[in-house]
Amino acid sequence: MKLFVYHTPEQAPNSEVPECAIAVDVLRATSTIATVLAAGGEAVQVFSDLDKLMQESENWQPEKRLRAGERGGGKVPGFELGNSPLDCTPELVQGRRLFISTTNGTRTLQRIQDAGAVIAAALINRAAVVKYVVDKEPLNVWIVGSGWEGSYSLEDTVCAGAIAHSVCQHTNLPIEKLAGNDEMISAISLYSQWEKNLLGLLHHASHGQRLLRLDCHEDLKYCSQTDILDVLPMQQEPGVLKKYG
């Protein structure tokens, strides 16, 4: 098994398809996806295009759907939700499908949708993701960060490092045996430096600062927690993720 880390979807190779691909958007798409499915949501369907989201969601009865739209950290007008996992309570999402489009995370999921297994990961559900990887032992694993509009993000790289670090611990394999690229080693280094203060790192991150200016302090606190949700969002068909197992 080899682990590869790509900081943005644009960095992931176009000529290859891995056995397993893990999308990461800690702030906040994959954190929201994990939260919705843990709270009893029927599925999460992702879109990069808002018009396509509206068109597809019209095929569902209003009481069976929720629309979540985010651009630049803020909620899209006319949508029930933005991209805050804290709004996704069991009372709201139980039995409903979330149709979601975000600035970064949904692009990542669409970029890797042809992989053998497609998973959505965040810090909050890291343990469930690691358990799957360790149990299934896929030959190649891509951990693909969403970044911010094509550029590097601290929060996604530290999450990639948290996943890779835990896989190393559970397999008892040295980093050099598992590392598919240098980015994997650097991601583990970042996590090792900040694992005791992930909230502090999220406050340093440019997108974390952007969300703080939007008064999303509680979102950062929530998204900085590790291993609090035992849920594995897995793609069932292109763009549609459901709870695995």
Stated pTM of the model: 0.96
Q: What is the 3-state secondary structure (H, E, C) of 22-64?
A: EEECCCCHHHHHHHHHHCCCCEEEECCCHHHHHHHHCCCCHHH
- For the cut 90, the answer to whether the pLDDT of residue 106 exceeds it is no
Confidence of residue 175 (pLDDT cuts 50, 70, 90): very high
Cβ atoms of residues 192 and 222 within 8 Å: no
pLDDT tens digit string along 206-238? 999 999 999 999 999 999 999 999 999 999 999
Query: Among residues 31, 34, 55, which one has the least CA distance to residue 43?
Result: 34
Taking residues 76-98, report their average pLDDT. 95
Structure tokens at 181: 């690229």
> pLDDT tens, 33-55?
999 999 999 999 999 899 999 99
What's the rounded mean pLDDT across residues 18-28?
Answer: 97
Domain positions in the chain are 2-243
Provide the residue type at 134 as one letter: V
> Domain 2-243 - what CATH class?
alpha beta
* Structural contact between residues 144 and 23, judged by C-beta atoms closer than 8 angstroms: yes
Omega before 28 within 30 of 0, i.e. cis: yes
Which pLDDT does position 150 carry in this prediction? Answer: 86
How far, in Å, CA of 136 to CA of 183, rounded? Answer: 23
Evaluate if residue 73 carries a pLDDT over 90: no
Specify the pLDDT at position 3.
Answer: 98
The reported pLDDT for the residue numbered 218 is: 97
Q: Is the pLDDT of residue 140 over 90?
A: yes
Query: What average pLDDT does this structure show over 165-175?
Result: 96
User: Helices 154-171 and 126-136, interaxial angle, to 10°?
Assistant: 50
DSSP class of residue 149?
A: T
pLDDT at 102 over 90: no
pLDDT at position 56, please?
A: 95
Residue type, 48: S
